[in-house]
Amino acid sequence: MSHAHEGHDHGSSGNLKVAFFLNFSFTILEIIGGVWTNSIAILSDTVHDFGDSLSLGLAWYFDKRSQRGRTAEQTYGYKRYRLLGGLITGLVLVAGIGFILWKAIGRLMSPEAVNAPGMIALAVSGILFNGAAVMRVKNGSSLTEKVVSWHLLEDTLGWIAVLVGAGVMAVWDVPIIDPILSIGIALFVLWNVGRNLKNVMQVFLQRAPESFDVEEFAQQVRQFPKVKDTHHIHVWSLDGESHVLSMHLQMASDASRDEILAAKQKVREALDEEEFEHVTIDVELAGEDCASCEEEGG
C-alpha cells in the first residue's frame, strides 16, 4: 500500500509543478498582452492570475512537503499539509472570483470599447496555456488537485468567454457581452469550488470519509466468530485519500489467542476496499472493564 501511495504522491506533486509553471509563464505573457491591447480588463485579470500563480506555488510546496515520512513530532507524517494547499488555493480563487464579479458588474453599468483583435490573440494563448494545465491535473485524486483543477478551469472558461466576446465585438459593437459571460462563468465556478472547499473542511474537522459507512462496518464485524460487540470506532482521513481507523473489539471470554488474531485479520480484510493507512484494534474479553468507556461515558 505504501508504494502505491508514494507513486501517487509524486504524480500529484509533478502535476502541480507543471500547472504552476504554465500559469506563471502565462501571467508574464498576459502583462505584455495587456499593455499591447491597452485593455484594463486584461491588466486587471493579470493581478488575478498572479494570485493564481502564488496559490499554485504554495499548493505545489505543501504537496511536496506532505510526502515526508513520519517523525517523532509528526507521528502520522505530513500528509495533512496537502490540505493546506487546497484550502489556500480555494480561498484565493474565491477572492479572485469576487474581484472578477466586481469588475464585470462595473462593466455592465458602463461598457467600454476594447481592442478585439488583440484580445482574440491573447484569448487563444490563454486557452492553450490554462487548458494544458487543466488536462494535467483534472484526473488527480487529491483534494488539492481537484480544487486546483477548478481554479485552472475557471481561467480557461474565462478566456473562452473573452474569445467569444471578442469575436462578437469584432463584428458588432456590443461590449456588454463580455461582462455577461464573465458573470455566468464566475458563478458556475464559484459553486463548484465551494463544494470542494466543503470537502477540504470536512477532512480538517475529521469527519468520517463519505465512502465509509461506520454503522454498516460495525454490524459486519459483530458477525465475526467470537466477536460479542464493537465500540469506540473512530474513523477520519489524513488528506481525503489516506484514512485512519481505531476501534475496540469485545471478544467472547473463552476466545483463544488464535481466534482473536483471526478476528483482527478479518477486520483488516473488511477494510481492504478503502485506503486505510493506519488501523488500531484494541481487544477486550467479555466481562473486562474498558477504561475508555468509563472516560467517555460509553
Residues 13-67 pLDDT 10s:
677 777 778 778 888 887 787 677 666 556 656 666 776 777 678 777 877 777 7
* pLDDT band (50, 70, 90) for residue 90: confident
Q: Would you state the pLDDT for residue 298?
A: 45
Together in a domain, 135 and 235: no
Q: Assess whether pLDDT exceeds 80 at residue 213.
A: yes
pLDDT in tens, 104-152: 788 778 776 667 788 888 888 888 887 887 777 666 656 666 667 776 7
CA atoms within 13 A on the CB side of 62: 22
Q: Would you state the pLDDT for residue 42?
A: 66
Q: Last residue of some domain: 160, 185, 204?
A: 204
Residue with cell 455592465: 108
Q: How many domains does the chain have?
A: 2
Q: How far apart are CA 254 and CA 122, in angstroms?
A: 76
Alpha-carbon separation of residue 147 from 88, 126, 241, 272 (angstroms): 10, 19, 15, 27
Q: Last residue of some domain: 168, 186, 204?
A: 204
Together in a domain, 133 and 48: yes
Together in a domain, 43 and 130: yes
Q: Would you state the pLDDT for residue 225?
A: 92
Q: Assess whether pLDDT exceeds 70 at residue 156.
A: yes
* pLDDT band (50, 70, 90) for residue 257: very high
Q: Would you state the pLDDT for residue 170?
A: 79
* pLDDT band (50, 70, 90) for residue 4: very low
Q: How far apart are CA 45 and CA 30, in angstroms?
A: 8
> Which are the contacts of 242, defined by CB distance < 8 A and separation ≥ 6?
5, 79, 275, 276, 277
CATH code, domain with 45:
1.20.1510.10
Together in a domain, 131 and 177: yes
Together in a domain, 186 and 222: no
Question: Is 209 contained in some domain?
Answer: no
* pLDDT band (50, 70, 90) for residue 7: very low
Alpha-carbon separation of residue 45 from 30, 37, 38, 39, 290 (angstroms): 8, 13, 13, 10, 60
Per-range mean pLDDT, top range of 21-35, 65-79, 220-234: 220-234
Q: Assess whether pLDDT exceeds 60 at residue 295.
A: no
Question: Is 192 contained in some domain?
Answer: yes
Is the separation of the CB atoms in 142 and 240 below 8 Å?
yes
Structural domain boundaries, residue 242: 214-296
Pairing of strands 243-251, 276-285: parallel
pLDDT in tens, 188-204: 778 877 887 888 888 88
Together in a domain, 143 and 280: no
Q: Would you state the pLDDT for residue 40?
A: 54
Cα-Cα-Cα-Cα torsion 61, 64, 65, 69, nearest 10 degrees, comes to 180
Q: Assess whether pLDDT exceeds 80 at residue 280.
A: yes
> Which are the contacts of 280, defined by CB distance < 8 A and separation ≥ 6?
245, 246, 247
Q: Last residue of some domain: 152, 170, 204?
A: 204
